[in-house]
Amino acid sequence: MNQPTDQAARVAVVTGGSGGIGRAAAERLARDGFAVLVHYAGNRARAEETVAAIEAAGGRALAAGGDVADETAMTELFDTAEREFGGLDVLVHTAGIMPLAPLTELDLDTFDRIQRTNVRGTFVVDQLAARRIRDGGAIINFSTSVTRLQIPGYSAYAASKGAVEAITLILARELRGRDITVNAVAPGPTATPLFLDGKPQALVDQIADANPMQRLGTPEDITEAVAFLAGPARWVNGQVLYVNGGAA
């Protein structure tokens, strides 16, 4: 496979790039010189806002949608990246869902939906990326620090992210010989709509104060790790990087 000749030629696909950590990751990689395909599941307007912000800062970006668990839709997504930008060097797979309830109360349809998006979605997207990504590239999945924190109500979500970690660590070894790193970022509580939705302010304050840094993480905190894994971290491979201010 051919490697890009310079940093400006590098291409990243960011799933879930329409908001939260995904948007911050897309904007950070664009600042680092990547052309970015911003994926969205249902909110094209927010993805276009991300693209507009990148372009306003002098970067290159394009929005494209699709269900991450649908292999046909994701094939089209990667086709678009190759057609419009010339290839693929980095995948940042942030897309996921997080319905919460105690195990005894969570209905099985919701459980199945979580696993479909978070586990099958990761498998589909990683499979396609691994087949297309250029030598010297990086696959960056997203797990969660909840796999260590064991917070009540997160059983189905944490189970899905445990599977994501297993996929990540095994794929890193399956890609032996191609100079492609595969890692997972595991954020702690981060001030995104996905985390804040439905939580009373008192609970948010309690969670923030429990952290040694006495605050929630920000999307920009998390994307520091993404930029590291997408760029200089060539000797970090097959790892789960906990980015949580010391919460776990």
Which residues belong to the active site?
157
Rounded Cα distance between 146 and 155, Å, is: 9
DSSP label at residue 117: I
Amino acid at 97: I
Rounded Cα distance between 33 and 11, Å, is: 9
**Is the CB of residue 69 less than 8 Å from the CB of residue 125?**
no
**Is the CB of residue 216 less than 8 Å from the CB of residue 208?**
yes
Ranges of beta strands (E only) in 16-171 are 35-40, 60-65, 90-93, 138-142
Ramachandran category for residue 135: left, alpha or beta (phi over 0 → left; psi -120 to 50 → alpha): beta
Give the residue from 31, 23, 52 showing the smallest Cα distance to 194.
Answer: 23
CA-CA distances (angstroms) from residue 167 to 120, 141, 173, 177, 239?
Answer: 10, 9, 10, 18, 11
